[in-house]
């Protein structure tokens, strides 16, 4: 009986810890781009244009493509470009770059707090929302402002795969 009670307690603790990781309104990607989509599915998406290959990331054994959003505004802040990261032909990370001369990072942060709740502040100008399906990071500095979104599981697999390629 004690063994069953112990196993039940462990399961209960783990189920609550998973619930605590999610934030309100957690997304499975960004707009109409979903984690695990292939490059071909992203290419067929009408929300972007001028998609082009920009490089290979050896550390994550992945490829990167850059595009423009047809609707470049995110919470009234104009984005410059969007970068898609694919590992094993699966979308696992998105980076959105903003025009720093016109963007107001504080307005974007406040809009994200309204949508996703309070972030964890990881640095002076780095705010992170941790979720099971999507992790979002907002950061800015002197000449940069960016929004990173990734699927934690696929990102970890990409990093693991990239580290194995060196052996």
Could you list the pLDDT tens digit for every one of the 167 residues in the chain? Answer: 555 444 444 444 444 444 444 556 677 889 889 999 999 999 999 999 999 999 999 999 999 999 999 999 999 999 999 999 999 999 999 999 998 888 889 999 999 999 899 999 888 899 999 999 999 999 998 788 999 999 999 999 999 999 987 65
Is residue 123 within 8 Å of 139, Cβ to Cβ?
A: yes
Domains identified in the chain and CATH numbers:
24-165 (3.40.1000)
Distance in angstroms (rounded) separating the CA atoms of residues 94 and 50: 16
Distance in angstroms (rounded) separating the CA atoms of residues 124 and 47: 33
Neighbouring-strand partners of residue 93: 85, 150
pTM: 0.82
């Amino acid at each position: 009986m004690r063994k069953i009670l112990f196993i039940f307690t462990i399961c209960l603790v783990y189920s609550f810890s998973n619930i605590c990781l999610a934030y309100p309104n957690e997304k499975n990607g960004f707009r109409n781009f979903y984690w695990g989509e292939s490059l071909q599915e992203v290419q067929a998406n009408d929300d972007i244009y001028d998609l082009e290959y920009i490089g290979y990331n050896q550390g994550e054994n992945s490829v990167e493509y850059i595009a423009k959003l047809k609707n470049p505004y995110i919470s009234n802040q104009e984005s410059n470009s969007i970068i898609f990261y694919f590992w094993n032909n699966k979308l696992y990370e998105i980076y959105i770059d903003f025009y720093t001369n016109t963007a107001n990072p504080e307005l974007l942060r406040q809009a994200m707090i309204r949508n996703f709740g309070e972030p964890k502040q990881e640095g002076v100008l780095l705010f992170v929302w941790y979720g099971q399906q999507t992790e979002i990071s907002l950061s800015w500095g002197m000449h940069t402002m960016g929004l990173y979104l990734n699927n934690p599981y696929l990102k970890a697999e990409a990093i693991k795969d990239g580290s194995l390629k060196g052996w």
